[in-house]
Structure 1
Amino acid sequence: MTADDRAAVGRPTGIGPSEGRLPGFRPHGDRPNGIRLSGIGDEAAPGLDRQIEAVRRLGWDSIELRSVDGVPLADLDDAAFDRVAGRVADAGLGVSCVDSRIGNWARTVVSPFADDLTELDRLAGRCDRLGTRLVRIMSYPNAGLSEGDWEREVLNRVRRLAARAEDTGLVLVHENCAGWAATDPARMLRLLEAAGSPALRLLFDVGNGIAYGYEAYDLLPHIAPYVAHVHVKDGTGDTNAQFYSLPGDGDCRVADSLRLLYGQGYSGAVSIEPHINIRPHEGWSDPSGDYVDEFVAYGQRLEKLVHEPAGGN
């Protein structure tokens, strides 16, 4: 992708002007530098009431939704979804993003594409009800295709998804996690170029490099202008074993990543995904603790981290 190509992609939703922002995270009103903090609710508890409790205890004004009682948002029946939307509204919370299964580790490049189109269509109406435009996607793990065929199929699918998202007012945010463009910034830019739509942008997860064997921070200089949503987790380890920690205690350069993003004008949400006590997408949880308390402690640590002057992790 040339410089002209990158310019043609345009500036994403969630990126704003950088006037008045400082390289260190000093308080600005009730948020450091205007940072909007959020959290993936099912990392605090399976049930929605406890998810909401966790975010409200932190004093935050938004939640990120992935599953409720173990059921992905798109799979809830209409009555169950009505209860979710009502409870979120009654709690006075916005929704920063909805996490779909489109293109993720459970749906390879040869899985039925109709499943993803159906999920996107179902989420379109639900996102409208929840007041959010952002839907997290990934870019399809390979399943026996040649490199060339894998690339062509991924680009074709994402192009069609972005067109459908644009028609419904959604913005798909591709996470640096599973799939063709998971770890390579050049592929992420190629994905944006192929879609050619403001309805496709990037989601940067600070901690995903641990499990996938790369330094996530090293991606940022290449992709920062196109990041529209951020996940925070931290830890140590490698592709064989991961040990997740409070933000700032691991090797993922959480504060450095946020400084770089905000220094370039990022104005989207920063959403915690602790992974310490519960990982719903893996079917794993620690049976010994109260996840809400740990989720709140994690969020408080992030608040402390972003208030610190430049120089910390």
Structure 2
Amino acid sequence: MSIQGSQAAALRWDLSGFGDEIDDDPRVQAAVMRALGASHIEVRSAWGTNIVDLSEEQLAQLKGVLDEAGLNVSAIASPIGKVDVELPVEHEVERLGRALRAAEVLGAPYIRIFSFYYEGKAPEQVREAVIERMAALARRAEGTGVTLVHENEKDIFGDIPSRVADIVTSVGSPALKLAWDPANFVQVGVKPFTEGYELLRPHVVYLQVKDALFADGSVVPAGEGDGEVLRTVEALRDSGYTGFASLEPHLAEAFSLGGFSGPYAFGVAARAFAKVLEAAGVEAG
């Protein structure tokens, strides 16, 4: 076996997933994630309530449910930055405070964020305002022990690789890194690995797992679309990536603040990604 093959065989990634794509009830979320062999869960909402709107009592209850199931939290999947860029800087900084509190209670090392809607304007018109807001969010997170990860997504400033790179390099904070979402790149006409990996890899610390088709933007299980998932996994493997792989299937429904799959489709997504990992010689659990 080659040295590269030996390294690949030794790599193990922590499997996680967006629990609310399974069910509103965190007990059901936890049960399915454990059944799939996952060690972690990503929290976007519980009992139908977004993570930034959960009360202290609900956060404590959620912590108890996950502890009982033996699950750790990989990330807080916040909606921070999914608002119009014209809102005051303080609007999202205040909401980030609530996400940071959730991360503290649940022991999450990462918080997912976005880089603002700007309907009716050109990207260059809002760039300065976006960077100002992203820098303010990063400053708020600095010193907390939590890293913000920007998710590339359609309709926000950071949708294509060049603008994603612009954000993270312009802010230049150790508290702001990147989450990689191949399906979202496909939905804005980008070949993820071919056109974005080399540019963004130095800043990528978190992998979100979903795939999509160029033909109509529809989301499909990992490895069954145009998201170059296997090529990306192999490249991450070769670079020594040992972080999280978080399932976000969106196989039944997608909407502005998230998506839904249900237990069965979530299992389909997990098994599809397991095939990708097997082909790349990477373990996950």
Q: With the length of structure 1 as denominator, give the TM-score of the two structures.
A: 0.81
Give yes or no for contact 2:85–2:130 (8 Å, CA) kept in 1: yes
Which residue among 173, 182, 201 is the counterpart of 1:224? 201
- Residues 224-264 of structure 1: CA distance to partner in whole angstroms, max 9, x if unpaired? 121011111113244xx433222222221111111112212
Distance across 2 between alignment mates of 1:59 and 1:285: 20
The alpha-carbon deviation at position 190 of structure 1 amounts to 2.3
Give yes or no for contact 2:43–2:76 (8 Å, CA) kept in 1: yes
Distance across 1 between alignment mates of 2:6 and 2:166: 29
Distance across 2 between alignment mates of 1:284 and 1:63: 15
Amino acid at match of 2:181: D
The alpha-carbon deviation at position 94 of structure 1 amounts to 0.8
Q: Aligned with 1:139: secondary structure?
A: coil
Q: 1:120 to 1:91 in 2, by over 3 A?
A: same
Distance across 2 between alignment mates of 1:158 and 1:283: 21
Distance across 2 between alignment mates of 1:42 and 1:299: 15
Aligned ranges 1:226-241 → 2 under 5 Å: 226-238=203-215, 241=216
The alpha-carbon deviation at position 126 of structure 1 amounts to 1.6
The answer to whether 1:125 aligns with 2:125 is: no
The answer to whether 1:72 aligns with 2:43 is: no
The alpha-carbon deviation at position 213 of structure 1 amounts to 2.2
Q: Considering only aligned residues, what root-mean-square deviation do their CA atoms show, in Å?
A: 2.2
Distance across 1 between alignment mates of 2:6 and 2:157: 33
The answer to whether 1:264 aligns with 2:235 is: no
| Structure 2 partner of 1:164 | 140
Q: Aligned with 1:173: secondary structure?
A: strand
Amino acid at match of 1:100: S
Give yes or no for contact 2:234–2:280 (8 Å, CA) kept in 1: no
The alpha-carbon deviation at position 74 of structure 1 amounts to 0.8
Give yes or no for contact 1:225–1:264 (8 Å, CA) kept in 2: no
The alpha-carbon deviation at position 171 of structure 1 amounts to 0.8
Quick one: percent identity of the two aligned structures?
29
Give yes or no for contact 2:8–2:237 (8 Å, CA) kept in 1: no
| Structure 2 partner of 1:39 | 17
The alpha-carbon deviation at position 280 of structure 1 amounts to 5.8
Which residue among 257, 262, 266 is the counterpart of 1:295? 266
| Structure 2 partner of 1:139 | 115
Q: 1:21 to 1:111 in 2, by over 3 A?
A: farther
Distance across 2 between alignment mates of 1:285 and 1:199: 29
Q: 1:250 to 1:68 in 2, by over 3 A?
A: same
Q: Aligned with 1:230: secondary structure?
A: strand
Aligned ranges 1:37-116 → 2 under 5 Å: 37-104=15-82, 107-116=83-92
Could you tell which deviates more after superposition, 138-147 or 213-222? 138-147
Number of residue pairs the alignment of both structures matches: 277
Q: With the length of structure 2 as denominator, give the TM-score of the two structures.
A: 0.89
- Residues 71-121 of structure 1: CA distance to partner in whole angstroms, max 9, x if unpaired? 1101012222221111111111111111111112xx011124333112111
Distance across 2 between alignment mates of 1:284 and 1:299: 16
Aligned ranges 1:244-259 → 2 under 5 Å: 244-259=219-234
Give yes or no for contact 1:62–1:95 (8 Å, CA) kept in 2: yes
Consecutive unaligned residues in structure 2, runs of 5 or more: none
Give yes or no for contact 2:153–2:184 (8 Å, CA) kept in 1: yes
Give yes or no for contact 2:250–2:259 (8 Å, CA) kept in 1: no
Distance across 2 between alignment mates of 1:188 and 1:23: 33
Give yes or no for contact 2:222–2:272 (8 Å, CA) kept in 1: yes
Amino acid at match of 1:267: T
Distance across 2 between alignment mates of 1:303 and 1:25: 15
Consecutive unaligned residues in structure 1, runs of 5 or more: 1-19
Distance across 2 between alignment mates of 1:293 and 1:79: 31
Structure richer in helix, relative to its length: 2
Give yes or no for contact 1:138–1:182 (8 Å, CA) kept in 2: no
Amino acid at match of 2:72: G
Could you tell which deviates more after superposition, 147-156 or 36-45? 147-156
